[in-house]
Amino acid sequence: MKRMSNPRAQAKDKYEVVSELAKRRGFFWPSYEIYGGVSGFITFGPLGSLLKRRIEDKFRRFFIHRLGLYEIETSVITPAKVFEASGHVEAFKEPMVECLRCKRRFRADHLLQEFAGLSEAEAGRLSLEELRREIEAHGVRCPECDGSLGEHKLFTTMFTTTIGPYADAIGYGRPEAAQGIFTEFKRLYELARERLPFGVVQIGHALRNEISPRQGPIRLREFTIIDLEFFFDPEEDRPPLEDVRGEVLRLIPAEVRLKGSDEPLEVEVCEALKRGYIKVGWLAYFMALAKRFLVELGVPPERQRFIEKLEWERAHYSKQGFDQEIYLERWGWIEVSGHNYRTDYDLGQHMKYSNIDMRVFKEYEGRTFVEERTIIKPVLSKIRQDFKEEAQNVVKLLSGIDPNELEASLKRRGFYPLGPYGILPEHVEVARRKVEERGRRFIPHVVEPSFGSDRLTYVTLEYAYGTKGGRALLDLPRDVAPIQIGVYPLVSKNGLPEKAKEVHRMLLNEGLTVDYDESGSIGRRYARADEIGVPLGVTIDYRTLEDDTVTIRDRNTWRQVRSEIKTLPELLRAYFQYKANFDDLGKPV
Amino acid sequence: MKRMSNPRAQAKDKYEVVSELAKRRGFFWPSYEIYGGVSGFITFGPLGSLLKRRIEDKFRRFFIHRLGLYEIETSVITPAKVFEASGHVEAFKEPMVECLRCKRRFRADHLLQEFAGLSEAEAGRLSLEELRREIEAHGVRCPECDGSLGEHKLFTTMFTTTIGPYADAIGYGRPEAAQGIFTEFKRLYELARERLPFGVVQIGHALRNEISPRQGPIRLREFTIIDLEFFFDPEEDRPPLEDVRGEVLRLIPAEVRLKGSDEPLEVEVCEALKRGYIKVGWLAYFMALAKRFLVELGVPPERQRFIEKLEWERAHYSKQGFDQEIYLERWGWIEVSGHNYRTDYDLGQHMKYSNIDMRVFKEYEGRTFVEERTIIKPVLSKIRQDFKEEAQNVVKLLSGIDPNELEASLKRRGFYPLGPYGILPEHVEVARRKVEERGRRFIPHVVEPSFGSDRLTYVTLEYAYGTKGGRALLDLPRDVAPIQIGVYPLVSKNGLPEKAKEVHRMLLNEGLTVDYDESGSIGRRYARADEIGVPLGVTIDYRTLEDDTVTIRDRNTWRQVRSEIKTLPELLRAYFQYKANFDDLGKPV
């Protein structure tokens, strides 16, 4: 590999080296290059799309199968109402500033980080007006043409479109897959046989219309999100901590950050809960699993940390939030997953906006209470008189609201806003009634671990990258390596290719992902395979023709063992399920 | 199942029955119901998303692994330039008419089909003006309010948005995944080691902003497309027909349709090629595979047909096209895949719009030719003088164009439009040179089979649906059934649940999808499993505690066999790979 031993090349950072390999071998590359490229979009080539899919499948085994979660699929294009309810239309905006000369537009807070040395936390908490003042104070100018910077505005970073032929039917490209789960909560709860806790996952494309994305595969306008929404009763926050006990997390709690430090504490997960660093059991549980998941993808614990978001950094729905960060050579600490305690915020908002009851009912065990409750009775004659053909709808909407809120509003404001209708005191009778409470109704709370599948893929690649004997070698975990096995005839003559193709076909039929390669010297073929992280190579040589045995070569150690062809399916299956090691695959050569 | 034996329910059509089951058991349902629903979007619930994923994985085994195709992943949001080049911006439009009274908008051609009895083919070929006249002539009025219909317009059925903060950076939601493959052709060709033929697949969301979609899961605004672009040398159209020989297709060729018939001919695939019904070998090959694929999904041959598109029905890029149609009870013949001969159209268009050479080079075998060729030499001094700092770019662009086109344009128009630049005669020297031709350069041709994953899922469900003993039973093929195995303790006491959970865990660890169910009588549990198509049930009874054997129950015949727990992993694996039948799983009970 001339490229690697070239001293100029040595100066490249790991991102450059990995991206170059990724491009050359078909993991990923910038999209639409023939049209000059559009930043924020990448193409996953044949190997990359396989690697990404295997990481997602590993996520399924690791989280979904372990906990019996559900997976669903909803649309990327979403009617505006959903993101109005969720608060995204209001909150999903970034500060933008335009150069007065070249008219280019930039993230105002990013400019302050880059050219005035503010930290992300400092720049992130500034209001539009404060940003303007800071940019002026630091004399920040246009990084492209040195022009002076003009007005500051908030830019909605959701992609906007219209659904169907009416201009007022706004649709957004979803910035998260979570809302597709929340809007369908009632059906999902029924499918879960109306029992808490339960969790639902969605893995799919999401869109964020970044103002000026850079950072290749790290900051994308279109990416694959893995959102896991876990619904639980806040009075019964009891995750199976025995699964994760002993797992040490490197935590930077908000209180530490507020003192100006970013030195992580190393705390065992149950201890972190007990000490109150993590406020919810399920949050802690998923953080511990997330740490372990990244270890299995090849990132050692010391290159991971969980940083608690400060109040002004947290998403609008979050009561406590941690970012799981991984250290990358070029960019430093980069988020690969976010862990948020979303409380009952989202379901509560959808309940408010849709007038559909999102509460669940839980019986008290063996006890009942007698309680006085406010009830409302619609005065039908008045309602018919005032609302005409809308009367039925008004009555229906009234049945879904909180009587106490209605009563309070009538007292305070003289009316109650019921969707598009104004309810006056004469429309309803408010009364008290003693009722027997057999249980309670409440909106489930939600803990959300959320991963970026593209970032996981890049991180896995960067951590797998290394060299051996002066050549590139991807030490990909065997359960995510895109190609599992290479099959090689030692030479491409004398019947060896035919025999090798038989073995190739047999392994394909076992459901394994197998490459067949007969071009070039065997050394070159091994090198090509190492470079894309193929864990095992099966070589067919002259002895194979005599006794039906082959050699199996280990990518990482280059050691070889010999075994019978007929035993391969079972041996290899065990190996890729981590039930056998390389040494179990045959006799050392 | 009271629902089924109710005589009123008997009158429901199959779509209604299947949709009801799909909703109740979590296969799919209309999205955003809490906000009144938005037509054209469905949610795949836990079982549906698994079923859909398994069908996609079956597609991978059936097509991708068989032929060694590539799979890639590109973005849904696509810069406008791509769809300008591909012709979609011009062609992807539908005729729309608005009611003058209620302002609702409709597909003009659909109204004519519904209310004036025109066939799809008849309505589809009318121009805007002709549509207007026909609608007037037939007195078609607004189907919602009976108002009269106003102006006819063309409506672009791509979702439109902007990429980034500049209003002129238009982006479209892709209506097909194919363009993501064509724009990346050069890299993909390199990865294929510059050899033809090769094929690339993309499975991902696509968007079509239908004017007024109905038909539930059949006509969606957001759906999953499976586009397979197969690149080949048109002079070497040699698919491995031996793979498909003997496969009989039910074809309705254009010539038959033009005579007013829609009676399919039953023709063996190679015969269909020979007789010229299908014009391209690779097209025929993929059609035969597509037929077989649908048979494996449960659709018998007599419920399938391939209908050739007439000239005015074909997409703008297609030279010959067939729709694979499946008969559904409610809607009649419905397309599940399209098979188009896209020729070199798309790559040629991108070559024109991007000025990037999309041609491949193929050496003549053992022969060379001497040819006279037109060449152009840029006159650098003149170019620098006129284009200043753009000069380098002009020279670069000149190197990529066809010298004959330039020469012709200079002669005809006195200049040549080179992207944004105008090339005048003084900028270039045009000369002839004798060159030795060692091969030829050409744009590869493309055959495209394209499937809709959502429709495949619905079709598979409808064809699997049946009843046995008065109860619903889904006869899903074992390789796509979302849940593979149910594990049941005979009763939920005396240690049986514990033992059953052990078996459940063991089978999960083998990578199987397994449901554990202990609630209700065993008969009820079997019925629940049959209704969602679980092929096998494993029951743990008192004898299990003595001798570690279990019964295995077959969904379709309700027969049972008995086998040892320790043999289950191997037996079940063989069964789900179609290497064993139910009778091989143990001794009859």
Residues A247 and A295 in one domain: yes
Backbone φ/ψ region at B193: left (φ over 0), alpha (ψ -120 to 50), beta: left
Could you report the per-residue pLDDT of A44-77, keeping only the tens digit for each? Answer: 999 999 999 999 999 999 999 989 999 999 999 9
B349-379 pLDDT per residue, tens: 999 999 999 999 998 877 677 778 888 889 9
> Which of A372, A358, A361, A373 shows the shortest CA–CA distance to A438?
A361
For residues A47, A52, A58 and A60, what is the CA-based torsion angle, rounded to 10 degrees? -140
Which chain A residues are closer than 8 Å to B184 by Cβ? 29, 31, 43, 45
Integer Cα distance of A111 and A150 in angstroms: 13
CATH number at residue B562: 3.40.50.800
Q: Cβ contact (<8 Å) for A43 and B186?
A: no
Q: Is residue A406 part of a domain?
A: yes
Q: What is the pLDDT of residue B349?
A: 97
Query: How far, in Å, CA of A466 to CA of A21, rounded?
Result: 12
Rg of chain A's alpha carbons, rounded to an integer?
A: 29
Q: What is the mean pLDDT of residues A347-361?
A: 96
Q: Using the 8-state DSSP alphabet, how is residue B264 labeled?
A: P
Q: How far apart are CA B159 and CA B173, in angstroms?
A: 5
Asked if B46 has any chain A CB less than 8 Å from its own CB, the reply is yes
Tokens at B476, concatenated: 């899903």
Please confirm whether the linkage preceding B482 is cis (ω < 30° from 0): no
Residues for chain A: how many in total? 589
Helix (H) or strand (E) holding A440: strand A439-442
Q: pLDDT digit string (tens) for B165-221? A: 998 899 999 999 999 999 999 999 999 999 999 999 999 999 999 998 877 888 899
Which amino acid, one-letter code, is at A572? L
The answer to the question of residue B325 being in a domain is: no
CB pairs A-B closer than 8 Å: 211
CB contact under 8 A, B212 and A187: no
Pairing of β B514-516 and β A149-156 = unpaired
Are A186 and B232 spatial neighbours (Cβ–Cβ below 8 Å)?
Answer: no
pLDDT for A441-490, tens place per residue?
A: 999 999 999 999 999 999 999 999 999 999 999 999 999 999 999 999 99
Q: How many residues does chain B have?
A: 589
Are residues A393 and A542 located together in one domain of the fold?
Answer: no
Domain boundary (A129, A156, A183) is at A156
pLDDT of residue B3: 37
> Are residues A232 and A216 part of one domain?
yes
How far off is chain A from B251, nearest CA to CA, in Å? 32
Q: What pairing do the DSSP bridges indicate for beta strands B93-99 and B560-564?
A: unpaired
Assess A407–B contact: CB distance below 8 Å, yes or no.
no
d(CA A260, CA A268): 23
Task: Give Cα separations from B275 to A410, B231, B291 (angstroms).
Answer: 81, 24, 19
Q: CATH number of the domain that A274 lies in?
A: 3.30.930.10
pLDDT in tens, A521-533: 999 999 999 999 9
In contact, B260 and B252? CB cutoff 8 Å: no
Q: Is the pLDDT of residue B9 over 70?
A: no
CA distance A290 to A282: 12
Structure token pair of residue B461: 């469900």
In terms of domains, do A48 and A187 share one?
Answer: no
User: What is the arithmetic mean of pLDDT over B280-299?
Assistant: 98
Return the exposure string of A6-26: e unless at least 16 CB atoms fall within 10 Å of the residue's CB, then b: eeeeeeeeebebbbebbbbbb
Return the half-sphere exposure (C-beta side, CA atoms, 13 A cut-off) of residue A85. 25
Q: Is residue A185 part of a domain?
A: yes
Nearest to B34 among A43, A52, A354 (CB): A354
* Distance (Å, whole) CA A201 – CA A178: 8
**Distance (Å, whole) CA A243 – CA A248:** 13
Residue the block writes with tokens 């919602």:
B144
Same domain assignment for residues A186 and A282: yes
Cα–Cα dist B569/B514, whole Å: 12
Question: Of A456, A498, A162, whose CA–CA distance to A297 is shortest?
Answer: A456
pLDDT at A298: 98
Please give the sequence-ordered ranges of beta strands (E in DSSP) within B253-392, or none if there are none.
265-268, 304-308, 320-328, 332-343, 360-363, 369-378
**Residue A1, both tokens:** 């590999």
Q: Write out chain B residues lying below 8 Å of A48, CB-based.
A: 72-73
Give Cβ neighbours of residue B446 (< 8 Å, ≥ 6 apart): B229, B230, B231, B232, B341, B342, B343, B344, B345, B346, B347
Question: Cα dist. A192→A68, A230, A505, B26, B66 in Å?
Answer: 10, 12, 42, 10, 39
Give the angle A60-A66-A67 at the CA atoms, nearest 5°.
Answer: 100
* Separation between Cα atoms, residue A188 and residue B47, nearest integer Å: 11
**Of A19, A474, A13, A466, residue with least CA distance to A217:** A19
Contact B115, B138 (CB under 8 A): yes
Within 8 A of A210 by CB-CB distance, chain B residues are: 164
- Same domain as B575, residue B508: yes
Structure tokens at B440: 């030829």
Return the closest-CA partner of residue A73 out of A162, A144, A177.
Answer: A177
Q: What is the pLDDT at residue A338?
A: 98
Q: Is B465 helix (H, G, I), strand (E, B) or coil?
A: strand
CATH number assigned to the domain comprising residue B127: 3.30.40.230
Best probe of the B interface among A73, A97, A575, by most B CBs < 10 A, is A73
B 116-175: CB under 8 A from A: 155, 159-166, 171, 173
Q: Which residue of B has its CA nearest to A45?
A: B72
Question: What is the CATH number for B415?
Answer: 3.30.720
Do A80 and A111 reside in the same domain of the chain?
A: no
Amino acid at A539: T
Q: Could you give the CA distance from residue A459 to residue A299 in angstroms, rounded to a whole number?
A: 8
- Same structural domain, A84 and A205: yes
CB B198 within 8 A of CB B231: yes
Q: Check residue B7 and give its pLDDT.
A: 44
Contact A207, B222 (CB under 8 A): no
For chain B, percent of residues with pLDDT exceeding 90: 79
Residue after which a domain boundary falls, among B382, B402, B437: B437
Residues 474-513 of A with CB under 8 A from B: 508, 511
Residue A358 belongs to a domain: no
Please judge whether A45 and B188 are an interchain contact, meaning their C-beta atoms are less than 8 angstroms apart. yes
Over 60: is that where the pLDDT of A129 sits?
yes
pLDDT at B8 over 70: no
Order across the sheet with A149-156: list the strands.
A105-107, A93-99, A149-156
CB-CB neighbors (< 8 A) of A41 in chain B: 74-75, 77
Here the tokens at position B499 are 């033992």
Sorting pLDDT into bands at 50, 70 and 90, what band is A392? Answer: confident
Examine residue B106 and state whether it is found in any structural domain, yes or no: yes
Task: Phi first, then psi: give them for residue A292, nearest 5 degrees.
Answer: -65, -35
**One domain, residues A209 and A285:** yes
Same domain, A376 and A267: no
Average pLDDT of chain A? 93
Range of the domain at B131: 93-156
Quick one: A490 and A526 in the same domain? Answer: yes
CA distance linking residue A529 with residue A413, whole number of Å: 74
Facing residues of A308 across strands? A322
Residue A9 confidence (pLDDT) above 50: no
Scan residues 76-115 of A and list those with Cβ closer than 8 Å to B: 76-79, 81-82, 96, 105
Q: How many Cβ atoms sit within 10 Å of the Cβ of residue B317?
A: 21
Residue B148: inside a domain: yes
H or E stretch covering B554:
strand B549-554
Q: Which segments of A26-119 does DSSP mark as H helices, in order?
A: 46-59, 66-67, 80-85, 88-91, 108-116
Q: Considering the entire predicted model, what is its pTM? A: 0.89
- Stretch A128-134: mean pLDDT: 92
In a domain, A8, yes or no: yes
Percent of chain A at pLDDT exceeding 70: 98
Domain check: are B412 and B499 in the same one? no
Contacts of A180 in chain B (CB under 8 A): 31, 43
Pairing of strands A93-99, A105-107: antiparallel
Domain stops at, among A13, A33, A67? A67
Does a structural domain hold residue A104? yes
Residue of B nearest to A162 (CA): B159
Position B4 scores a pLDDT of: 39
Phi, psi of A277 (to 5 degrees): -65, -45
Element at A432 (helix H, strand E): strand A428-437
Give the count of domains, chain B.
Answer: 3
Interchain CB distance below 8 Å, B52 and A73 = yes
Of A49, A162, A204, Cβ closest to residue B71: A49
Tell me what percent of the residues of chain A surpass a pLDDT of 90: 79
Quote the pLDDT of residue A233. Answer: 97
List CB contacts of A126: < 8 A, sequence separation 6 or more.
A95, A109, A112, A134
The span from the CA of A25 to the CA of A46, in Å, is: 9
Is residue B570 a contact partner of residue A574, using CB atoms and an 8 Å limit?
A: no
Q: How many CA atoms lie within 13 A of B356 on its CB side?
A: 17
Q: Which of A25-29, A112-116, A396-400 has the lowest mean pLDDT?
A: A396-400
Confidence label for B544 from pLDDT (cuts 50, 70 and 90): very high
Query: How many helices (H) and strands (E) in chain B?
Result: 24, 31
In the stretch 269-298 of chain B, residues with CB closer than 8 A to chain A read none
- Apex CA B224: angle with CA B218 and CA B228, to 5°? 110
Residues B74, B227 contacting (CB under 8 angstroms): no
